Amino acid sequence: MGNINWNKVETIVDQVLDLPQSERVEHIHQVCAGNEALKGEVTKLLNSIFDSEGWLDDPKEFKEGFYQEMAEDAENIENSHSLIGKTIGSYTIKELLGEGGMGQVYLAERSDGTFEHKVAIKILHSARSSPENIRRFKQERNILAGLNHPGIAKLFDGGITDSGLQYLIMEYIDGKPITTYCKDNNLSLNERIKLFKKVLSAVQHAHESLVIHRDLKPDNIFVTSERQIKILDFGISKLLEDTETSPGHTLSEGRMLTPKYAAPEQILEEKVTTATDVYALGIIFYELLSGKHPYDLNNKSYFETENIILNKIPPAPSANTDSWGKQHRGTLRDDLDAIALKAIDKDRKERYRMANQFLSDLNNFEQGLPVTAQANSLTYRAKKYIVRNKLSIAVTVIFLFLLISISIFHTSRLTQERNKAQLEAEKAVQIKELFSEILQQSDPFTQPERDITLSDVLSTGADKVKNSLNSQPQIKAELLGLLGGTYASLGNFKEGEELLEEALSLDYPLELKTERQTYINNLTQVGRIYYRTGRFVEAESAYLKALEMSKRLHGEESGNLAGMYISLASIYREEGHLLKTEEFYKRAIEISDSTHKLLLATSLGNLAIAYRDQGEYEKALNLHDRSLKLEYEVHDSLHPDIASGYNNLAFTYQQMGKYQMADSLHQIALSMRRKLFPPDHHHIASSLVRLGLLKIKQMHTVEAENYLAEGYQILQQKLPEDHWQLISARGGLAVSRAMQGEFKENVPIVEEAYQFFNDRFGEDDWRTREAAAALTNLYRIWGKTEKAEFYSDKL
């Protein structure tokens, strides 16, 4: 025993653990040839590792199989060549491609002459055909059969040969491991990222099919000459199972077979989740960025390797590069460093939970958008500070616009009504003085220590108007209405409603058209707030009253009435009165002439929505097109009405099932709204929720959760608890989480949404049917067939 070189024993064991199972026996025979004592100590150490580490599904069965192979010498390996020339199904085996896992993989060609076709045939070795290994082999077949993605090697067939060998016929992949391919072809950084995104897409498909690979590494991710990704070897993958005791996608497993890509939880024998695959992907991504593994594991013992993976903090890719990576250090710093380090965080709760979150951050990086891995960095806080100060700059512009608009309005009245010239001059002076006082508070030179926001200025302006102009109720009503409307436009409905209600309560003579028009304007503004907050009865009453006053003031055919018809039609649509909706939108179109292009554009777009709700999609698309063309004739390319037009067109395509087109249009609308409005605006929330619900239909559940969570958070601050949009957002968020395996906590929330829509709008309403469809799908995935059929009958 004293003559044993323990460093050599440890080295051999490390080498064995890094090899595929089928190569281990032969390697031990070769390195220990003629030295039985050395072979015995290697065997003992492996035995202790197998006993303590819980490898694979059944450590005892694996260990017994391992020593059985040791006893059988190398005879089984040599026999693997005896299958060459044999026929399996319609294919003739041509050559041995490799050995891994529990058997061999052969290249085969179609032999019946119907067409040329190469396949890979995986055969379970006879010496490894235990009941447990046969079960695992069949599980691989079942898993592959359920995966359908261009980035995952396809399964064509499977069965048992005449001699009793289990086999799988799979897509033959003529390619190279991803790291080798990138190096041999000298791919640029952007090319490597685009290639890796394909890997993430394929892994996400597996995750959404409730499959964890568990052994992702470059040797299992091939790239073809056409740069097509193919993920191989799902032999030790697992199906995720929903349990009452384990939240989310978890299962208890042992270690993966490749320590270099094994996550800390695998080494600690903790539960394996989709985040475990993300860790392996993060290591591969790190290698693609820097050219090096995050840890120096060369010549390290097994136990040293374990300690490094568990305890050492990896350097950023930009600080750990080979000669290729050095060229890209500047680009790697910041976002890419942060993304890679987040993916390989030792705490799986801090990693991306699924591949799609990883993919989303890479997409954001490519588009120059913020990434979640950098959410708390100083740079990002600085950017938010800049955005915040842009509002202060915008304040002056907004109020100057209000001042100029009012001054022009009153100047025109001076021209038209000379007998009231003195009165209007006094009004203009009062307005100018009032807004001068308001604007002084946003002067950065007189108030350098204050970070003035638009909310501050509006609040001060409202206080000043409330406490002044008591002798001029006409002017006061006009200013309160303008301020109330501004609050409403920013999504601050409560403050806007208070100001408008006060404006409407002012007692002043309605002798002049302008004063009466001011009252009508304030009435429609408060009606708009009622509508936005889901009080449809109050909104209808306000708009009908405004409509009757406008008819008396302007005549029944005046284009000024079109906006009220549009608003009333929108209310009727929310209440499910589709025919009445169509009637009022058509009336708005009839009275909108060339001088009212904006109203005509809005009317056409809203009529498109009415046709969409009735399933008349071609009519809807035609009207959307006409509406957007008019919008572009009137506005610049960046305007809220154009963003709304894209949003509505996107939802029409979504209802038609054309999700890719809908996704692109929703992204355009969201991008425009983020540029146009404050971050917590209800229009941004609307786009986020629409996009999130679409992502659910596309099975991009993590992206869906991100969009819906952000939108829901905004709507909670803007809408009452019983508003259907808030219910819809909360229900959609629950669907996205349930589809990630969290059924028990979230399905009841979706059921509550269904019941709300059914009670409020009826069983035939599109919102009710959407909720029923979601419940049908969720219960099917959950395996609760009766409940799925119950909601399916509601469709």
Catalytic residues: 215
d(CA 720, CA 723): 6
Q: Which two tokens stand for residue 484?
A: 């109330």
Closest by CA position to 276, among listed 218, 216, 339 = 216
Distance of CA 456 to the CA centre of its chain: 34
Using alpha carbons only, how large is the chain's radius of gyration in Å?
34
d(CA 438, CA 479): 13
Four-CA torsion 263, 265, 271, 274, nearest 10 degrees: -30
d(CA 531, CA 568): 10
Paired residues of 591 in beta bridges: none
C-alpha distances in Å from residue 787, one per residue of 130, 245, 697, 731, 747 = 39, 22, 20, 18, 11
Q: Are 257 and 216 in contact (CB under 8 A)?
A: no
Distance of CA 236 to the CA centre of its chain: 29
Q: Residue for token digits 């708390």?
A: 376
Element (H, E) at 238: strand 238-239
Q: Residue for token digits 């289990």?
A: 166
d(CA 708, CA 728): 10
Distance of CA 686 to the CA centre of its chain: 15
d(CA 773, CA 790): 11
Q: Are 692 and 736 in contact (CB under 8 A)?
A: yes
Long-range contacts of 349-353 (CB under 8 A, 24+ apart): 351/275, 351/278, 351/279, 351/282, 352/275, 352/278, 353/248, 353/273, 353/274, 353/275, 353/278, 353/702, 353/740
d(CA 157, CA 146): 13
Paired residues of 251 in beta bridges: 272
Helix residue spans in 312-377 (DSSP H): 323-326, 329-331, 337-343, 355-367
d(CA 82, CA 549): 95
Q: Which two tokens stand for residue 251?
A: 């299962």
Q: Are 323 and 31 in contact (CB under 8 A)?
A: no
To the question of whether residue 597 is assigned a binding role by annotation, the answer is: no
Q: Residue 382, Cβ neighbours under 10 Å: how many?
A: 10
d(CA 627, CA 749): 37
Q: Which two tokens stand for residue 84?
A: 């060459």
Long-range contacts of 234-237 (CB under 8 A, 24+ apart): 234/140, 234/143, 234/144, 234/147, 234/206, 235/100, 235/101, 235/102, 235/136, 235/137, 235/140, 236/56, 236/101, 236/136, 237/140, 237/143, 237/206, 237/211, 237/212, 237/213
d(CA 536, CA 314): 58
Helix residue spans in 614-742 (DSSP H): 617-634, 640-655, 659-676, 682-697, 701-718, 724-738
d(CA 502, CA 20): 79
Q: Which two tokens stand for residue 600?
A: 């005509």
d(CA 126, CA 79): 10
d(CA 315, CA 294): 7
Residue list for the binding site: 122
Binding-site residues for ATP, in ranges, read 122
